[in-house]
Structure 1
Amino acid sequence: MQDLRATSPFKALKGWRNEDYGVYIHNREKLLLKIERSASNLLGVIRYGVHVNGFFSSRCNYYQKSDRVTNGNLHSSDDPKSLDQTDPDNVFMWLGIRSMNKPTWPGMLDNMAAGGLTYGLDAVECARKECQEEASVPAHMLDKLTLVNQLSYIFEDERGVCPQIEYCFDLELPPDFIPVSSDGEVDSFQLVSISEIKQLIFDERFKSNSALVVLDFLYRHKFIDKDSDPRHAEIQSLMHVNLPLD
C-alpha cells in the first residue's frame, strides 16, 4: 500500500494518516487484517466509528442561544434570549465545529466527540478516548457514557465506496460543563437547542454521518414523531443497511 501511495492517482491515499484500521467480518467478531485508514475507502471494506451526543437538560442556565466556545472561552451571540426560553423541552446539545485543517469535512458541524474506531480498542474505550481528546471531558463524567444504537450505511464520494458502522453514544453532561478541544481536531464548540439542530440538519451544515447520528438521537428521544414523519421509514432504512460481510 505504501508503494501504491507513492505512485497512484487515487485521492483516498492522499489523506494518508499512519493510522491502522481493522478489517473484520461478522460484526467485528473475527479480525482478518489491518490496513491504513485512508485505504479503507479505496478497498471498500467496512469501517467502524464512534459518535457521542453530548447533551444536557436544565431549566436554569447561564448560556445564550447559539453560544460558541473556543478554547474554553464563551462567545455569546447577539440573541438576548437564554436557552431555557428558546425551547420548551429544554434539551441542548454541544456540537463540534471541525477544524479547517481537517482533510475531510473542514468547518462542518460534528458531534461533540467522534472518530474512527482505533485498532486495538473496543467501541466504549474508543468513545471515552475521543471524549477526552476532542472535548476534554473529565473521566468521572464519562461514567454516564451509554452505547445506545448502531447505525449502518454506505457512503460514496471521490475517495471511493465506504460501507460504515457507527456506534452511537449518549452522554448527559452537567449544564455548567464547557467542552475544550485538546487535540486540534475541533475548531470550536457550539451549544444549540433541539429546535436549532433540526434546522441545521435541513441546512446541510453537518458532516453527513454526524447528521444521521443526531437524527437517531431525535427519533429515540421522540423529538421527531415517527408517526407524523412521512420519511421515517425511508430514513430508518438508510440508517440500517445490511452490509456485506457484516
Structure 2
Amino acid sequence: MVRLAFRACVAACTALIVLAAPTVVGATVPPPTDTIPLTDEVPDEQGIVVDAPLVTLPNTLSAVTTIPTGCAIPPVPQMVFAGEITKIEDATATFRVDKLLAGTPAGYITEDLVDVRYGQDTKFLDVGTRYIVGAASDPFSPLLVSRVRQDSPLFGGNAVVGVNDSAAVCPNFEDPIRTLREDGEPIDTGVLSPLLNNKLLIVFVLLFSVAFVVAGLFGVVLYRKSLIGAQRGISQTKKKMKRR
C-alpha cells in the first residue's frame, strides 16, 4: 500500500510540473516587412516624408533642320514623282506619272501626264526611260521646271575672296529640283553622252570620219600630182627657152 501511495504521489507531482511549464510553440514568425508607399512621397534621411523628385525625360529631337541666319534656303519642289517619258518636244518633256513621291500635282497633271520644261537639258533624256523627277513651279509659265545638270556656282563660287566670310556654318543640301535615273544615280551629262546614246549618230560619225580621212588622202595625192605636173611644165618651158 505504501508503494502504491508513493507512486501516486510521484505521478501527481509530475503532472503538476508538466502543466506549470510554459508551452513552446514551433510556429514560424514572418520577418518584419517595410511598407513601400505607392505615392509620390518618399522619406528623407531624417525619416521625414517629402515629395519624390520629378524626373524629366529628354524630348525626342526634331527631324527638322534649322538653317542658320545668313544661309541660303533650298527651294521646295512642287512635286517629286517617278515616271516615264512619253514625248520630248523642243525643251519640254512629257512624263506619264507612275508614282507620286512627294508634293501635290494639282493644276499640273492631266490623265497621269505632266509636262516638265528642261531647256537644253532635254538632250540628256530619252523617250521610254523612267526617271525620278523633282520639279518646281515656274513663275513665268504654267509648266513645271526641272534640270539634269547640277547648277555650277556663279563667279567662281568659293574661289571668290570673301564669299564665305560668315560665322554661320551652313548645311549642304542636295538640289531637290533635279531629275535622276530610276536608281537614284545622276544622269550622265558628259559631252559624248548624247553620241553614245544614239546609235545612228554613232554610225554617222564613223562614216563621216572615214569619208573625211579618204577625202584628205585623195586631196594630198591630187596636190602632189599637181605639184609634180607643175614642176614638169616649168622644166619643159625652161628647156624650150634655152633652145631658142
TM-score, structure 2 as length reference: 0.21
Q: Which has the higher contact order (CA 8 A, sep 6+)?
A: 1
Whichever of the two has the greater Rg, that structure is: 2
**1 or 2, which has the higher helix percentage?**
2
